[in-house]
Amino acid sequence: MSGKWIVIALAVSIMTTLMNAAVFVGQLSTSANARGAGTSASKLLDDDDFTAGLTKLIRKTVRDYCSVGKKDHIDC
């Protein structure tokens, strides 16, 4: 009975290794363009709605942190 489990475990590990190798080859064959990602990020920062929302989120986070900080004697 233990021989069957060893064979099953070996088959599963080989299948997992082959699947990982296929994913790895797929990752290598897909080219990544770092400049394309940088330009889309700069376009995002040029968007007025995005920067306004980000500013609002940051201000709310700081306000929440400071209100909790006053309770815990943390200087803001």
- Structure-token pair, residue 15: 């299948």
Confidence grade of residue 14 (pLDDT, cut at 50, 70, 90):
very high
Residues 34-66: b if buried by 16+ CB within 10 A, e if exposed = eeeeeeeeeeeeeeeeeeeeeeeeeeeeeeeee
Confidence grade of residue 22 (pLDDT, cut at 50, 70, 90):
very high
Please tell me the predicted confidence (pLDDT) of residue 33. 57
Whole-model pTM over 0.75? no
- Render pLDDT for 53-67 as a digit per residue (tens, 0 to 9): 999 999 888 888 777
